[in-house]
Amino acid sequence: MSPKSAKAKKIVATTSLAGCFGCHMSLLDIDERLFDLIELVEFHKSPIDDIKTFTKECDIGLVEGGCCNDENVHVLTEFRKHCRVLVAVGECAIMGGLPAMRNTIPLKECLDEAYLGGATVADCNPGRVIPCDPDIPKILNRVYPCHEVVKMDYFLPGCPPSADLIWDALVALVSGKELALEYRTFKFD
């Protein structure tokens, strides 16, 4: 490949915050279009190539999941700094999704249920410890949708968004054409 065509490729970063990686699986579900995709874009920081830190500026950042801990906030802030266009991919990035079901319950009650009093805890936690090691990300008081933490440019709904919607969105972003949000691909589940 000539350096010129390499330069013309848009650079894409992806991450999964408080998500289940389902949106990344949906991205892989574009199937044979993956070959077209790698002609169109170069992946940078992403679980797909396991690049962990930003070493260059990216054109497109795809963010799956909302923010449930301080590490999510850090990663999302880094994405905002290094990506020209940031896309919230999926229900969790858009509104917190299933992790946000805890948003109506005080954090202490959640932790007590998970580590002390819950039916499945039994005697698994004899020291009655709620993990608080400094190496573990600190959990936030509630789960925040991405756009409540940084400015997000676009939103792709779905749980997960269909592979066709992700593909259409990537093609639109790379080609600079307007995205036709087809009814068939526009779903919340």
Partner 1 sequence: MASFVRFTLDGRECLAEEGAQLVAAAKECGVFIPTLCNCPGIPPKGACRICTVLVNGMPHTACTTRVVEDMAVVTRTPELEAFRKSVVEILFAEGNHLCPSCERSGNCELQALAYRYRVTVPHFPYLFPKRDVEAWHPKLVKDHNRCIQCKRCIRGIRNDKGQAIFAFGKRGDKVVINIDPETSKDISDELAQQAMDICPVGAILRKGKGFDTPIGRRTYDRAPIGSEAAP
| Min dist. Cβ of residue 49 to partner 1 (A) | 28
> Does 97 contact partner 1 by CB under 8 A?
yes
| Min dist. Cβ of residue 146 to partner 1 (A) | 9
Residues 164-183 that bind partner 1 (CB under 8 A): 181, 183
Question: How far, in Å, CA of 137 to CA of 131, rounded?
Answer: 10
DSSP, residue by residue, 81-116 = HHEEEEEEESHHHHH-TGGGGGGGS-HHHHHHIIII
Selected from 88, 163, 166, 173, the binder of partner 1 by CB under 8 A is: 88
> Does 21 contact partner 1 by CB under 8 A?
no
Instruction: Report the interhelical angle of 163-175 vs 33-40 (nearest 10°).
Output: 30
Closer to partner 1 by Cβ: residue 39 or 148: 148
Q: Interface mask (CB under 8 A) for partner 1, residues 135-154, using x and -? A: -------x--x-xx---x-x
Question: How far, in Å, CA of 23 to CA of 129, rounded?
Answer: 33
Question: How far, in Å, CA of 12 to CA of 85, rounded?
Answer: 10
Closer to partner 1 by Cβ: residue 12 or 92: 92
Question: How far, in Å, CA of 136 to CA of 72, rounded?
Answer: 12
Closer to partner 1 by Cβ: residue 101 or 116: 101
| Min dist. Cβ of residue 85 to partner 1 (A) | 15
Closer to partner 1 by Cβ: residue 11 or 83: 83
Name the pairing type of β-strands 41-43 and 10-16: parallel
Q: What is the SS3 assignment for 132? A: coil
| Min dist. Cβ of residue 129 to partner 1 (A) | 28
Question: Considering only CA atoms, which of 6, 17, 10, 133 is closest in space to residue 64?
Answer: 17
Can you give the binding site for partner 1, defined by CB under 8 A? 88, 91, 94-98, 100-101, 103-105, 142, 145, 147-148, 152, 154-157, 159, 181, 183-184, 186-189
